[in-house]
Homo-oligomer: A and B are copies of this chain.
Amino acid sequence: MSTKTDILEAAMHVFAERGFRGGTVREICERAGANVAAVNYHFHDKSSLYAEVLQHAYRNAGAGEAMPTLADAPDQPEKQLAAWIHWYVRRLLHSDGTPVGRLMARELADPTEALDHLARGAVQPVFSELGRLVAAVAGGGLDDRRLKLQCITIVGQCLVFHSGRAMLQRLEPPHFTSDDAEEIARHITAGAIRACDPTPLESRR
């Protein structure tokens, strides 16, 4: 039974590094110290192995800190929103352990049928909680579309530091690494809270 889990672990890293097509079963098996035929014996084929890798990765992803929610402190929505953004940024940048972030990015660039299950099961709850937090900070001053827009742009600001990392590193400095997660989170939080302020743009001076 050790061989099967070894292959699963090795496949997770190989698929995260090289993608589904780029990752070869030979590299997976070599990394797992197993024979080439082991993949087809323990899993039916390469595709089934990939599906199990995704499930395994997402199941073990929430092993870290718990997501901050509005219910934790209903009277301090701004503090909870800040905590949520900090949690999300740290989750994205501190990819110690399972490289679930890279697997996710690859799924977005090249969606398979596994993305539907992932969206409903793992992403929607996180997104819904962000919606509750933003709505609470805004105090009901946002309609559905503006609320959704605000949530998407918050997530986008966090995501770009991970998904766009390869590009950002090739542009001119200053650069931002995982050590700057707190600075990044503070910046995004400040912008998000200001955006929830119902004051019109023209009267801010």
Question: For chain A, what secondary structure do more than half of its interface residues adopt (helix, strand, loop), or is it mixed?
Answer: helix
A66 at the interface (CB under 8 A from B): no
In the assembled complex, the CB of A82 is this many whole angstroms from the nearest CB of chain B, namely 11
B108 and A110 within 8 A (CB): no
The verdict on A33 contacting chain B, using a C-beta distance below 8 Å, is: no
Does A36 sit at the interface, judged by CB under 8 A?
no
Give the number of times this chain occurs in the complex, counting copies. 2
Q: Are B105 and A167 in contact (CB under 8 A)?
A: no
A195 located at the interface, meaning its Cβ lies under 8 Å from any Cβ of chain B in the complex? yes
Q: Which residues of B contact A193 (CB under 8 A)?
A: 201
A30 in the interface, Cβ–Cβ < 8 Å?
no
Find chain B residues with CB under 8 A from A204 CB: 194, 197, 199
Residues in A1-52 with C-beta less than 8 Å from chain B: 18-19, 21-22
Q: List B contacts of A153 (CB < 8 A).
A: 157, 160, 187-188, 191
Residues from chain B with Cβ under 8 Å of A191 in the complex: 153, 191, 194-195
Interface digits, A104-123 against B, CB 8 Å rule (1 contact, 0 not)?
A: 01111111000110011001
In the bound assembly, the distance between CA atoms of A74 and B108 in angstroms comes to 39
CA distance in complex: A102, B108 (Å): 10
Given contacts A153-B160, A170-B120, contact A146 B108 (CB under 8 A): no
Q: Which residues of A approach B to under 8 Å, CB–CB?
A: 18-19, 21-22, 102, 105-111, 115-116, 119-120, 123-124, 127-128, 144-146, 148-150, 152-153, 155-161, 163-164, 166-168, 170-172, 174, 176, 183-184, 187-188, 190-191, 193-195, 197, 199, 201, 204
Top 9 A-B pairs, shortest CB-CB distance: A156-B160, A119-B170, A109-B109, A153-B157, A111-B166, A191-B195, A194-B194, A156-B157, A156-B156
